[in-house]
Amino acid sequence: MTTPTRRRMRSSSISLGITALMASSLTGCSSSADYAAVCVDPDTQERVDDDQCDDDSDYNGGGSGFFWYYLGASSRIPAVGQTTSGGTFSGSSLNGTVQRGGLPSTGGSTVKSATTKGGFGGSSRGFG
C-alpha cells in the first residue's frame, strides 16, 4: 500500500499581500524632522544638556539662560560642550517639522541621520 504524497500549495495572493504590506510599512514610517534643536548657551554658543532648556521661547538677543538652537537637516550635530554654528535661535520662523532635543549628546552625525526613524525619502532642509 502506498501513501499519497502531500503537496504543499502556496497561494500567490498571500505572497502579494505580504509584499504589499511590507512595502507600505517601509514607506509609511519615515518620520525624519526638517529641523532639530539642541540646547545652547547664547553667550558662548556652547551646547549644553537638553534638560537646561525648559522654555520654548526664542532667543532675541536679550535675557539669560539657555535656549533652543535650531539646525537644518543637513547640519552636523555638535557634542555637548562644543560650540554650535550654522543654525538659528528663531524657531518660530521655521517652516517644516521640528524636533526639540533628543539628539545624541556625543554629536557627530547630521540632524537628518539622527532623526530618521526608517523608510525611504526625507528632506534636506537647511539654512541658506
Contact 99, 115 (CB under 8 A): yes
Domain-by-domain residue ranges, the chain?
A: 35-118
Q: What is the pLDDT of residue 64?
A: 85
Contact 86, 69 (CB under 8 A): no
Instruction: Note down pLDDT in tens along the chain; length 128 residues.
Output: 666 667 666 666 656 555 554 544 444 444 578 999 999 999 999 999 999 998 888 898 887 899 999 999 899 999 999 999 999 999 999 999 999 998 999 998 888 888 855 444 444 555 64
Q: Is the dihedral of CA 74, 79, 83, 87 positive or negative?
A: positive
| Three-state SS letters, 17-69 | HHHHHHHHHHHHCCCCCCEEEEEEECCCCEECCHHHCCCCCCCCCCCCCCEEE
What is the pTM for the complete model shown? 0.67
Contact 73, 110 (CB under 8 A): yes
